[in-house]
Amino acid sequence: MFAVILLPNFRLQAALRFREAMHARPVALMDGQAPKEGMLEVSDAAALAGVMRGQTSPQALARCAGLTILARSPAEEGGAQAALLEMAAALSPEIEATAEGFCTVNLQGSRVNDWQALGAGVVAGLASLRLRAQVGIGPNPDLAFLAARHARLVLVVQSPAVFLANLALHELDPAPELLAVLRDWGIHNLAQLTSLPRGDLMDRLGPEAGRLWERAAGQTERPLRRVRAAEEFSEAFDFEHEIDSAEPLLFLLRRFLDQLALRLGNACRVAGQMKLTLPLANGSAYERTFTVPSPTADVEVLFRILHTHLDGLRLDHCATGLRLHITPTHAERQQFQLFETPLRDPNRFGETLGRLAALVGIENAGVVEVLDTHRPDSIRLRPPRFHEPGSMAAPADDGLAVGLPLRRYRPPIAAQVRVVKQQPVRLESARVCGAIRAALGPYRASGGWWDADCWSTEEWDVEMEKGGLYRLARVGREWRIEGSYDEPLPEDRRGLPALAAMPSTGARA
Amino acid sequence: MNFPEDSSCRPGYLGDQRAKVVQLRRLLAEKFPAMQSRVGGVLRTGLADLDAAEGGLRRAALTELSTGSGTGALFIHAMLETVRRERCFAALVDAARSFEPDCPAAALARLLVVFCTDAVQAVKATDLLLRDGNVSLIMLDLQAAPPRQLQRIPANRWHRLQRLAEQTTAAAVVLTPQPMVEAAQVRITAGEGWTLAAQRRWQRDLTAAARWRVFARRSAENHLPVWEGEHATA
């Protein structure tokens, strides 16, 4: 058996998928690129008001003043078509994307007893994806297609001869000239056509008439042009007006995610990455890709990631559309070591990182990565991957660190240093001034001598007469304070009130 | 002239008020169990004085470490070793971008560093991390921040951080140059003033030599601004 899943008025359905308010209203769809072609598809309410395919906008509006005319959107149609193919792929690996909004499934070999229930399941599944479908099931692809066309929801062709006998001739879409000749002969339905001898018909009207006869008799067999569902989990929406606030975007994103989560669930996948695209009024587009820290199909988690980002997003131009693409992946299965403490909620952590990045800048929050150089202060922050086992693997501490840790001044502070007998004896700078009591050094380092980015520095650790330990560095002839090891409270800081009294009794010095 | 009767002078007034506060806390705990403070245990630090006093850093509590900048940096590096040993995660919010990662990569790999432009921004970042609840140790380093920035932090921010800390199992430590976090449940101080000789000693010896002193509030039931006193000393 073969099944055909048909989405009637496919382009209009795709356009109305996320526009529930328009479902009961008269709506017509036209091609924004070729408006002269007139209306491509019209809704039932519009058809009742007299609007027909092919009418121009003025003609259609003359028939129905309250008509809403939408421009077709290939992106929206792409999302609907992908959903259709995913649903078909769940029935059988052998599917054919016969046309837009119409696919054929080879069910031969499937152990289904109740074809009606199978079709009803497909219709219900597509209804949950906001698509109205008709399913036809028959012994060959052409019969299944004819059944789908005539189905209210599901039509199973048990007896091809009975089913075909009552169909009008034009249901097979014959060439207009051939149809005219057959009508002149008084042939109006398929039963009348198949009552004629096939050979004689071909002798008089040519081979095309022979193929028409075979189709009318339900005897055509053709191989399917197999396609593989591309696992394209994307949804799109084009606004009629420019959008300058986040609320409409969030409203739609929530709906997108509801749909995409359903589709991911059907395909036994979870979201690994999300790509948000906002076409802008100036013709450009804003794009951002989000990696889901712990891949999931949980709508709440995915929505929070997008919500957090849109909360802090400022664009120079208004958005004219919305696209969301999800890269699917398999659900994570990982086992930590016995004493490993994993993140409780990696997705929440990812969201917090997003908020931190919005607060301090994306380059100022992360895990320290020491660059492969001995040049001082060669570090950068990279996004943490705490949820990935093994990402923290590193050799243990040897416990051999010497001296106080440095607190680095970023940027370093320019200084004047008096040197006597190759020892710094006095320091003058905007932050620290005074005589140097003792100094350790010099500690010399250099690198990059093989290219233009060569560097050389001479470092000293100094103790000031007034207290405080600092690191000085001489680069060329310039001195600077790189940081402090211990810094006494400055005079102005000593004035800070101690808010809670500390007990003085019982404290051992 | 008649003065209104001052009921606060009545004998037993403070005891009554304290009982009422305790009763109110119990009532709130029954009504809003999710908002109850969790007793999260302690995070062992590896610092003998601290571990002897409290068992380590209190989880679900705000701790203030009020020391000189050198001792503060020693504490941060000691905590990195703790994080590596305990295999948990930590965050360092640095108000002055002064952190120098001169420590083993194993510890750095478990540390989220947030460089902030000022102290107020650093407090906001800490707020976000406390709400997140994923990391076990959050250190807010304000020791290198200019005093003017520290004065701009409203006092109620500390109470807010304390309330947030109570909702998590993380140990939250604020490193300050002087005691200023009124809402802290635990305060740690240490000896001051290092000389250049420290630069020739092992860091672990320096950490052990710092005279860590721990002061804690009395129990959470009697949450009054009275410090219990010193638990342990070096």
As to burial, measured by CB atoms within 10 angstroms (0-12 exposed, 13-18 middle, 19+ buried), residue B161 is buried
Q: Give per-residue pLDDT as tens, B98-147.
A: 999 887 777 788 899 999 999 999 999 999 999 988 899 999 999 999 88
Does residue B154 surpass a pLDDT of 60?
A: yes
Instruction: Specify whether A193 is located in the same domain as A255.
Output: no
Spatial distance between the Cα atoms of B185 and B219, rounded to a whole number of angstroms: 9
- Both A6 and A154 in a single domain? yes
Residues A125 and A168 placed together within one structural domain of the fold: no
ipTM over 0.95: no
Of the candidates B199, B163, B206, B155, the one whose C-alpha atom is nearest the C-alpha of residue B181 is B155
> So what's the pLDDT on residue B234?
30
Long-range CB pairs of A214-217 (<8 Å, 24+ gap) are A215/A142, A215/A172, A216/A164, A216/A169, A216/A172, A216/A190, A217/A164
DSSP letter string over A301-313? HHHHHHHHHHHT-
Considering only CB atoms, B113 lies closest to which of A352, A381, A403, namely: A381
Same domain, A119 and A12: yes
Residue ranges per structural domain of chain B: 44-230
Q: Which domain holds residue A469?
A: 407-488
Distance CA A386, CA A367 (A): 10
Answer yes or no: do B73 and A405 touch at CB < 8 A: yes
Which ranges of chain B would DSSP assign to H, the alpha helix? Answer: 13-31, 48-54, 69-86, 105-108, 119-132, 147-151, 155-166, 203-209
Domain assignment present for A135: yes
> Which stretch of DSSP H or E encloses residue A487?
none
Task: Give tens-digit pLDDT for A282-316.
Answer: 889 999 998 887 788 889 889 988 988 888 788 88
Residues A198 and A247 in one domain: no
Mind listing the pLDDT tens digit for each residue in A369-382? 988 888 888 899 98
Based on the domain organization, do A194 and A153 belong to the same domain? Answer: no
Contact: B196, A463; criterion CB under 8 Å: yes
pLDDT tens digits for range A13-71: 999 888 888 888 899 988 877 667 788 888 888 888 888 888 888 888 888 888 888 88
Q: Please write the tens of the pLDDT for every residue from A386-420.
A: 766 555 555 555 667 888 999 999 999 999 999 99
Query: Which of A236, A379, A222, A430 lies closest to A320, judged by CA?
Result: A236
What is the model's pLDDT at position A336? 53
Please indicate, yes or no, whether residues A112 and A195 belong to a single structural domain of this protein. no
Contacts of B97 in chain A (CB under 8 A): 408, 410
Residue A472 has pLDDT above 90, yes or no: yes
Give dist(CA A209, CA A169) in Å, integer: 12
Contact B168/A at CB under 8 A: no
Assess contact for A96 and A144: CB atoms under 8 A.
no
Cβ contact, residue pair B178, A498, below 8 Å: yes
Rg (chain B; Cα; Å): 19
Residue A17: CATH number of its domain: 3.30.70.270
Judge if A154 and A10 occupy the same domain: yes
Q: Which residues of B touch A368 (CB under 8 A)?
A: 99, 101, 108, 111, 113
Asked whether the predicted pLDDT for residue A89 surpasses 60, the reply is: yes
The distance of Cα B47 from the centroid of its chain, to the nearest Å, equals 15
C-alpha distances in Å from residue B173, one per residue of B48, B60, B65, B91: 18, 11, 7, 10
Per mean pLDDT, which of A354-358, B125-129, B217-221 is the most reliable?
Answer: B125-129
Overall fold of domain B44-230: Rossmann fold (3.40.50)
* Closest-CA residue to B174 (of B141, B217, B129): B141
What is the pLDDT averaged over residues B45-57? 85
Q: For A36-63, give the secondary structure using H, E and C.
A: HHCEEEECHHHHHCCCCCCCCHHHHHHH
Q: Which two tokens stand for residue A349?
A: 């952590």
* Residue A349 falls inside a structural domain: no
Residue of A nearest to B158 (CA): A499
- For residue A361, give Cα distances in angstroms to A353, A357, A392: 10, 5, 24
Within 10 A of A136 (CB to CB), how many other CB atoms are there? 26
- Quote the number of domains for chain A: 4
- The residue of chain B nearest to residue A392, with distances taken between CA atoms, is B109
Q: Which two tokens stand for residue A248?
A: 């409409």
**In 10 A of CB A83, how many CB atoms?**
29
Q: Is B92 touching A (CB cutoff 8 A)? A: no
Question: Of the ranges A104-108, A402-406, B31-35, which one carries the lowest mean pLDDT score?
Answer: B31-35
Residue A198 lies in a domain: yes
Are A184 and A95 members of one domain?
Answer: no
Q: Does residue A316 sit in the same domain as residue A447? A: no
The answer, for B233 touching chain A at a CB cutoff of 8 Å, is yes
Q: Is residue A390 one of the residues assigned to a domain?
A: no
pTM of the predicted structure, to 2 decimals: 0.65
DSSP string computed for A275-342: EEEEEBTTS-EEEEEEEEEEEE--HHHHHHHHHHHHHT---SS-EEEEEEEEEEEPPP-----TT---
C-beta of residue A360 within 8 angstroms of C-beta of residue B127: no
Q: Supply the angle between the helices A346-360 and A299-311 in degrees, to the nearest 10.
A: 0
Q: What is the 3-state secondary structure (H, E, C) of A103-152?
A: EEEECCCCCCCCHHHHHHHHHHHHHHCCCCCEEEEECCHHHHHHHHHHCC
A245 and A324 fall within a common domain: yes
d(CA B9, CA A163): 100
Question: What integer pLDDT is reported at residue B122 of this predicted model?
Answer: 95
pLDDT tens-digit map of A139-166: 888 888 888 888 888 888 888 878 887 7
Checking if the pLDDT of A116 tops 90, the result is no
Percent of chain A with pLDDT over 90: 22
pLDDT grade, residue A460 (50/70/90)? very high
Helix, coil or strand: residue B216: strand
- Chosen from B199, B207, B211, B231 to mutate, greatest number of chain A CBs within 10 A: B199
The domain spanning residue A295 has which CATH number?
A: 3.30.1490.100
Q: What confidence category does residue B225 fall into, taking pLDDT thresholds of 50, 70 and 90?
A: very low
Domain match, A111 and A6 both: yes
Q: Who among B100, B182, B204 is closest to A407 (CB)?
A: B100
Structure tokens belonging to residue A135? 């399913």
What's the CA gap between A342 and A388, in Å, rounded?
A: 9
